[in-house]
Chain A
């Protein structure tokens, strides 16, 4: 800090700064405000305002199909939700998807990261294959896997039948459809976990393992005593991101099953989309979205607290 300011002072002493830079001569605090303001205004416009607006709309009966103007109804949208079996079903599906795919993606991602961290001669093919599922748009992944699991044309059933098993009509049964969706989500998201964990792995100094070797610790012991504890911060960061996106799961089940059979694989995000975009019931849709927002905030708070106690 002091270094740069003396250099600035020295270089500007002979020529003097152009007049327009004068407004930059602010105190640290004022400078911070000026520099942060654009980002803060942008965030306020695209996040804070819509969220507040959403909360506001959720207290109104506002449906574009009614032909009526918005009417304040207090908590009626929320009390409707309590009686709405589809709300409970989609919320439960969302929680279940989160509970299955987040740990699933963590385990697969960890394994992939350890694999990618092995001292291969050529590393780019491994890293590239890690990047591709992550770079693929979610809806593409959903479409591709919908074909994989198709009961007549799908490669999964083809393999099953070649192995002597009977083909499964995946999307005809809630359980199989759910399994297919979870497998797809784990495939799609574990590479993101792996990328973050891989970055963490590379910060662990090699000397620690060398010292452990000298002390006679085996590979497994090294993993649990050195690798895992030092990876914890990266794992927590990966988990926060993954859990929040899992709570918002939409694209993959939307493309694979459309929520079917019946509504047995529909998620809360899909139900919000249906109420707002298809039914044009903006009041009820907003109330549902507020619930999802609250759910995400709770999970984030839990994780943040977990990190803070660690520190």
Chain B
């Protein structure tokens, strides 16, 4: 009876859909970041289109890094362009979008269904700016086969990691094999590169909009990475390496360890991977004596304030940020769910077994500073990290530059 009833309801709904003018031939344009499986999102959208006749959804992608995408969306939104209806936004952007008034408020939405970090990240001054698309955090990927071969346990501190890479390098004698790949190019990932060891020392960068910069902790962080370059743990041109370069290098089997987000997993297990079945994932190491810290990532769905299809766009975003889609994207695109319950979902755990341990990492991951001027904060940190890794600036000078320039921005 159930099936028959549902089929009838569906038929009625679709008929209703096709005759209700509001839903007739609505074309929604949705911006998806190209690095987050637009092809898998397409499948989700196909399902939505099938269930909602009269709604057509087109995906637009552009730019291959978070900054390039932000620049593109900045131009579109500051021109008040109504072309895009829904935008996928990096977790660091809602504050800026709220200040500029670029997204529509999801008034009255119950945010407690999501992981607390994302309920918080999407609520700015009491307004719900966007709804979570997926969660994310940085992890340490390692070559299980190599660690087993040399009897090394997954490192808990960066010092242990450095020692492990030495042991592997001495044994393998392969000049093509790097110890650790991380992000040294002046891109958003380099901000997390700086913050991981900084946070590990129990320090914060910004509290309640006020700068709480700890000079010594910053020097230690920059020294750690520069030391990795000097000691051969990382390759000499690490200042040229962006997030997806790290993914490609590890995938090609040319790195023993890699710092990356969760999306990399699907690629490592894919048909084009040289390391399928040989990859382990664990929490990022701590700086000697400190705590293990990760960088909170994730992307959000916002509805453009200039969209001429507000209701339809909001309805679609409600669907996309729902638990079913979250589970589907976890199982098919290895994107971390923004629902706590989804981490125990059988379908998810079958596809990505390590997600069982990932919830704790996401829950304890630290958020980058929340400010509408985040782009400036990010630029200061990432260009300095890049300059230190290239050897242009010393860790001490780098820390002083970050402090001086952040003071100007967050005065």
Chain A contact residues, CB within 8 Å of chain B: 64-67, 150-152, 169, 171-174, 258-264, 274, 277-280
Contact = CB atoms under 8 A, between A and B. Distances in A.
B386 interface: yes
B100 A280 contact: yes
Nearest to A84: B408
Given A278-B74, A280-B74, A262 B393 contact: yes
Given A261-B387, A277-B75, A67 B392 contact: no
A173 B239 CA distance: 10
Interface of B: 67, 70-71, 74-75, 78, 96, 98-101, 185-186, 236-237, 239-240, 372-373, 375-376, 379, 383-384, 386-387, 389-393
Closest 3 CB pairs of A and B: A262-B387, A261-B390, A67-B99
A264 B67 CA distance: 19
Nearest to B229: A172
Contact of B392 (A151, A262, A280): A262
Contacts of B99: 64-67
Contacts of A274: 379
Given A66-B99, A278-B74, A279-B373, A260 B390 contact: yes
A262 B373 contact: no
A175 to B, nearest CB: 10
B251 to A, nearest CB: 16
Interface of chain B: mostly helix, strand, loop or mixed: helix
A274 B372 CA distance: 16
A71 to B, nearest CB: 15
21 contacts: A65-B99, A65-B100, A66-B99, A67-B98, A67-B99, A67-B372, A152-B237, A172-B236, A173-B390, A173-B391, A258-B185, A261-B239, A261-B386, A262-B186, A262-B393, A263-B387, A277-B75, A278-B74, A279-B376, A280-B78, A280-B375
A148 to B, nearest CB: 14
A123 B1 CA distance: 83
Contacts of A263: 383, 387
A171 B240 contact: yes
Contact of B186 (A65, A173, A258): A258
Instruction: From A65, A169, A171, name the one whose CB has the most chain B CB atoms within 10 angstroms.
Output: A65
A172 B71 contact: no
Nearest to B100: A64
B100 A262 contact: no
Contact of A278 (B70, B384, B389): B70
Given A67-B101, A172-B390, A277-B74, 15 more contacts: A65-B99, A67-B372, A151-B237, A172-B240, A258-B186, A260-B186, A260-B390, A261-B239, A262-B386, A262-B387, A262-B393, A278-B67, A279-B375, A279-B379, A280-B78
A260 B379 CA distance: 12
B375 A278 contact: yes
A51 B377 CA distance: 30
B372 A66 contact: yes
Contacts of A169: 236-237, 240
A67 B100 contact: yes
B254 to A, nearest CB: 10
A172 B379 contact: no
A171 B375 CA distance: 23
Contact of A64 (B78, B185, B383): B78
A26 B237 CA distance: 70
Contacts of A150: 240
Given A65-B100, A67-B100, A171-B239, A260 B372 contact: no
Contacts of A152: 237
Contacts of A262: 186, 383-384, 386-387, 390, 392-393
Instruction: From A174, A259, A262, A277, name the one whose CB has the most chain B CB atoms within 10 angstroms.
Output: A262
A254 to B, nearest CB: 11
Contacts of B384: 262
Contacts of A277: 71, 74-75
B96 A264 contact: no
A97 to B, nearest CB: 18
A264 B186 contact: no
Contacts of A171: 237, 239-240
